[in-house]
Structure 1
Amino acid sequence: MSRTPRATRWLVPLVLLIVWLAVGGTLGPYAGRLGEVATNDQAAFLPRNAESTRVIEAQRAFKEDETLPAIVVWTADGDRPLDAAQQDQATRALAALKGTPGVVGQVSPAIPSHDEKALEGVVQLRPDLGDELSSTLDRISRQASAVTGATAVLAGPAASQADLSDAFAGIDGLLLGVALITVLVILLLVYRSVLLPFVIIVSAVFALGVACAIVYVLADHDVVRVDGQVQGILSILVIGAATDYALLLTARYREELAGDHSRFAAMRSALRQSTGAIVASGATVALGLLALLLSDLTNNRALGPVGAIGIACAVLSTLTFLPAALVLLGNAAYWPARPRPAEAAGGGHGVWRRIARVVEKAPRRIWAIALGGLLVCAAFAPTLSSKGVPLDEIFVNDAPSVQAQATLAEHFPGGSGNPAVVIADARHEKQIVERAKATDGVADATPLTEQGRPGSGPTRVVDGKIRVDVTLKDAADSDAAKATVSRMRSALHQVDGADALVGGYTAQQYDT
């Protein structure tokens, strides 16, 4: 009769361990598959009620879906003017790209600069190309290089995004690796144990695998939303939380083992004393994350439920897999160190005993001092300036897109090929165009025609609205361009009845 309970005590942790090994092996790969269901459209990083967000929605009425412009810039070899034959070659090279994979809409002709030393053309790409973006740009570059006596470079948002993708390639894996190594070093220093840190890390990795699998399924069914930012934060969040909760359990388990309890009794006592703290901590973090559902930014709202799922999985792994592994290992989990009754009775190392005595003697004073320090630090919050970083300051070394943008700015207005977009009432077309052109920092403003591009011909009117493309003098991501958008909005909003909205890439950066 005594053998059955004893066998059962071993059976439960063994079953839990086997289940988690099966779950981890099956669901672990989903940690690297979230990119398959990720959505990285620009509107996700905009406030829901932002003016540029409403412009994105209004553009759809013009059958103008959100695109990613790639700007081709040709400069003459030897710093001499480009002739008509080279311009014709460049136009044909661009025209050959129409309808090829990744290219959407109309392809512009090659337009000469005022100094006749450069040509410019715009190729509109799908914004969701992802990993195919680099190969698409390579194809455009090869096609553009066919112009004799000229050098072609690629600028604009598409080229910038490709360079950023290269710069951040593998960043999620790198962050995860650095986090795991950091946790491993900390655990080795804290516990001076060879095996325990790896058990805790395995527990955290299992939690991450389960969380990613759940998020993958929910995102695939459009229940939650995932983007690159959410994906990166989820990994660090789950690893950090699972490690934190594991420290609470393993510390209590070590104290119980030091009291000469059996491994089973020690774990029952450790779970009884630490489960409340772990669940309460997890619930606090999860509720805090769910508060992001009140955010005005789509990607912030997406992080709320995804992060809460990650925290729940961290708690689940800590309260099931980790106890099972620790019970099966017993004292061996802390090898070569061994829990000693003196450590448990003494309450830990001397420095922590001294800190505990100070807090115990004057808890209110310590509380007041800590609160005062936090308030002093919080007083500096209004000085935070979040205006974004211009393209030429993002990269440590000059990226090809940065050099191409500089070349573009030498011969054309900085905002060429990446205009601000104005949607307004068609009855006020003349006023809108005149006021836009009169705005300081604007190079040109042209209504969209029936041919589907700015230029000559009748203006396209959809549901009583027109679209005006406004070329800015400064680079589209610069502070000067954002200031121009602000001035233009002020000017156009004063046109009664026009209901003018200003969007486009620069306005999106400004609104973000």
Structure 2
Amino acid sequence: MKLPVLSRLGDTLTSRRGARRWLALSLLVIVLLLGALSGIDAPPRASGAPVEGSDSARVAQLLRENTTEHRTTALLVASGDDAQQLDPFQVERFTAQSRDYAQALGLSSGSVIRSEDRAAVMVPLSWDTVSEMDDRQTLTDLRSSIAAHPIDGVQQQVTGSTAFAVDITGAFAGADFTLLAVTVAIVAILLIVTYRSPILWLLPLLVVGLADGLAGRVANLLGTSLGLHFDAGVLSVLVFGAGTNYALLLISRYRDELRRQKDHRAALRTAWVASFEAIATSNLTVVLALLTLGLAVMDDTRGLGVVCAAGLLIAALLVLFLLPPVLALAGRKAFWPLEPRPGVAPAPTNVFGRAAHAAMRKPALNVATLMVLLLVLAGGLAGTRMGLDQTQQFRTQTESASAMQQLVAHFPAGEAQPITVLSDGKDTTALRETFAGLADVARVAEPSTLTSTWQQFSVITHADPGSQQAQALIKELRDQAAVHSDATVLVGGQIAEQYDNHQGHLRDLLLIAPLIAAICLLMLGWLTRSWRTAVALGFVNLLSAAAALGVGSVVSSLLFQINALDIQVPLLAFVFLVALGVDYTIFLTQRVRQDLLELPLHAAVPRAASRTGTVITSAGMVLAGVFAALATLPLTVLGQLGVIVGLGVLVDTFLVRTLLLPALFALLSSGRHPLFGDQPSTSTQPAHPAATESEIHA
């Protein structure tokens, strides 16, 4: 979009009549959309179905197609308080009550199995599967019946895949509202501290709040029509965080212009035109990065990327086209009591300008030192395991996880979740003998005929079904089958589904991370008009993301007492760290380009750092704060994501933008090539620029 077009659009947004029209039209469109989309319910959270096309998915499909009865099974586990042995009376009463539960709820009860240490008993309860919703209701009714019939000294708990699903839903009951309230409170407090005005903080907060409401409705529409699953809490965090960042950038530039111009509308128009490129570039970078998640094989990752891209696009549109009319109508008094006026200039430099000036004195040394520091922080990933056990998914204890722990502690671990093997060979004797000889295999069951083609048998493992050891066994079984059998062998079951999910997330990371890096490089190239500068900035951005993952993984392990990252975290954290982190690089780089029209680089960079320092720091604090709010949610993956992205934003704000980028700019401009493609050659500038105080204050 050419500058004259932006100027004319800025005129209509900020003029007396135009501002009223834009405000009225924008609010009308928003109200109509909110009304039209209000009847669309949010799609359910991801169901945890097997990865499409995987062996475990093929096994599940074959079992569905060739089994007349489709049943859901839950395991009722009873254990003694304080790990005490159960006496015969307790076992007898539990056995009788489990039959009563089954009869009252129309369930089938299996045989009661007592552990060898006599500290626990379990019984499988199953029922005909009607729908996922009905299965969850049956599970809820079962737990209600158990709660109504306690046994002294006995803890009765239910576990299984449906129990875990019910516990996830229960854990999120009211959590989205809590997250939204915490997010709004954090943004409001930081805006009040930033603006020191009882009025101004409300304006961007209301605009971003409208963006969040509209983004949520659009996300429901996309989720329902495209069959997407997503986490509404993450969407709100992104909209509030990024939307507030855009608003801070625009209002900061507006305040600068109010100190130069008497007419607040002219000042707002100038600020809007000057900020448009930075806001549009940063938003487009994040939106394109999020859209690459649409290539993911994992359903929850794919849905989150698409709806968050739509949400951030809405946030940028409202900040660019609704906030300016609001500011134009509010006028200079919105900044009361610290109204910026011509002649009341800000301090010529501040701590950010002085830090940039110091970093530029010895650019090569400072760049090398800071990059080594980032590499050291990234080293925190070295001892981090990827993937959580099933019982580690919740930050707070749940019944399904607790019952699974009791099963693992008192029964052969794999009995609760046997591995299902299908083979299209007629004789599976040699294959079963091979499997039985593996270290982590407890026993191999006799085969049965599933169809005229497929034979079915189970493999029981010694390992905890949710552990990395059990998932490693899945790979070993598949590798052994490929070597020792000419038949087609499919390894499935819940443990195999977890392994395939792990591999799916890894595949998504290896595919999507390079695409996101390429998108950021292209956008930086377009902004700087210099591939040399763009490659350097892109490398710094990636190194900053790696440092955030490293230090964030260490802090997460200390906070959550888990020395592992959920397999979803690396990709999602990479997307947010790289795509959102590049925002601050774009904000500073664009301001340096503009100041280079008036000053040499050794004076332009400190001045740009002074002018953008406060707003970028405020934006970084807001973004870090709203991501930290994810720690209020019960899932470990969201808590880890919030900690890593929050710390990463702070590293990017205070270390990369304040020190590393100014030193890098000085280093890149010390040769014959200009820093930006549309900048005259800097060969006449000193190799190690050191601005004088008068040049910095210009």
TM range (shorter): 0.7 to 0.9
Q: Is it true that 1:155 corresponds to 2:184 in the alignment?
A: no
Q: Secondary structure at the match of 2:288?
A: helix
Relative to structure 1, the CA distance from residue 85 to residue 7 in structure 2 (aligned partners, 3 Å threshold; closer, same or farther) is closer
Is 1:178 aligned to 2:182, yes or no? yes
Partner Cα distance (1:148, 1:388) in 2 = 33
Q: Which residue of 1 aligns with 2:351?
A: 351
CA distance in 1, matches of 2:12, 2:48: 59
1:187 to 188, 191, 195: 191
Question: SS where residue 422 of structure 1 aligns?
Answer: strand
* Contact kept in structure 1, 2:136 and 2:162, CA below 8 Å: no
- Report the AA paired with residue 308 of structure 1: A
Please give the secondary structure, in 2, of the residue aligned with 1:319. helix
CA distance in 2, matches of 1:356, 1:341: 27
Tell me, yes or no, if structure 1 residue 16 matches structure 2 residue 22: yes
SS of the equivalent of 2:317 reads helix
List runs of 5+ in structure 2 lacking aligned partners.
1-10, 503-698
> Matches of 1:240 and 1:308 in 2, distance apart?
14
Q: 1:42 aligns with which of 23, 45, 48?
A: 48
How far, CA to CA, are the matches of 1:42 and 1:250 in structure 2?
43
2:76 alignment partner AA: V
2:407 aligned residue:
408
Aligned with residue 470 of structure 1, among 453, 459, 467? 459
Structure-2 separation of matches of 1:120 and 1:477: 20
Q: Is the 8 A contact 1:95 1:109 kept in 2?
A: no
Whether the 8 Å CA contact 1:188–1:197 is kept in 2: the answer is yes
Match for residue 229 of structure 2? 226
Q: Give me the whole-angstrom Cα distance separating, in 2, the residues matched to 1:194 and 1:86.
A: 63
Paired residue secondary structure (1:501): strand
Preserved contact between residue 30 and residue 212 of structure 1 (Cα < 8 Å): no
Q: Secondary structure of the equivalent of 1:249?
A: helix
- The CA distance in 2 between the partners of 1:331 and 1:161, in whole Å, is 53
Query: For 2:140, which of 134, 138, 141 is the aligned residue?
Result: 138
State the alpha-carbon separation in 2 of the partners of residues 112 and 337 from structure 1.
Answer: 74
TM-score by length of 2: 0.60
Do structure 1's residue 79 and structure 2's residue 87 form an aligned pair? Answer: yes
Q: Quick one: structure 1 residues 290 and 371, their matched pair in 2 at CA, closer, same or farther if it must change by over 3 Å?
A: farther
Alignment partner of 2:121 out of 118, 123, 135 = 118
Q: Secondary structure, in 3 states, of the residue corresponding to 2:228?
A: coil
* Residues 67 and 36 (structure 1), Cα distance of their counterparts in 2 relative to 1, 3 Å cut: farther
Q: Which residue of 1 aligns with 2:270?
A: 269
Cα shift at 1:328 = 0.7
Query: For the residues of structure 2 that align with 1:266 and 1:12, how far apart are their CA atoms?
Result: 15
Paired amino acid for 1:159: A
The separation in 1 between residues aligned to 2:424 and 2:445, in whole angstroms, is 15
Given that residues 191 and 334 in structure 1 are in contact (C-alpha distance below 8 angstroms), is that contact kept between their aligned partners in structure 2? yes
Q: After TM superposition, give the deviation of residue 197 of structure 1 in Å.
A: 1.6
| Correspondence for 2:249 | 248
Question: In 1, distance between residues paired with 2:150 and 2:268?
Answer: 77
Q: Deviations over 1:77-113 (max 9, x none)?
A: 95217889975774574366458xxxxxxx4523433
Extract unaligned runs of 5+ from structure 1: 100-106, 450-458
Cα deviation for residue 287 of structure 1 reads 1.7
SS in 1 for 2:15: helix
Task: Confirm or deny: 8 A CA contact 1:91 1:110 kept in the other structure.
Answer: no
Could you tell which deviates more after superposition, 410-419 or 304-313?
Answer: 410-419
In structure 2, what residue type is equivalent to 1:14?
A: R
CA contact (8 A) 2:442 2:462 kept: yes
- Following the alignment from structure 1 to structure 2, what is the Cα–Cα distance between the partners of residues 385 and 298? 23
The residue aligned with 1:316 is 317
Q: CA deviation at 1:141?
A: 3.3
Which whole-Å deviations, capped at 9, do the CAs of 1:135-169 have from their partners, x for residues lacking one?
53231235568999896431223333333433343
User: Residue 170 of structure 2 corresponds to which residue in structure 1?
Assistant: 166
Any conservation in 2 of the 1:87–1:110 contact (CA below 8 Å)? no
1:42 is paired with a residue of what secondary structure?
A: coil
Aligned residue in 1 for 2:200? 196
On the 8 A contact 1:34/1:212 being kept in 2, the answer is no
- Opposite residue 418 of structure 2, the aligned amino acid is P
Amino acid at match of 2:450: R
**1:289 maps to 2:290:** yes
Work out whether residues 41 and 127 of structure 1, in 8 Å CA contact, stay in contact via their aligned partners in 2: no
Query: Residue in 2 aligned with 1:102?
Result: none
Could you say what secondary structure the match of 2:201 adopts? helix
Structure 1 SS opposite 2:158: strand
Counterpart for residue 326 of structure 2: 325
CA contact (8 A) 1:448 1:467 kept: yes
Q: Could you tell me how far 1:242 is from its partner in structure 2? A: 0.6
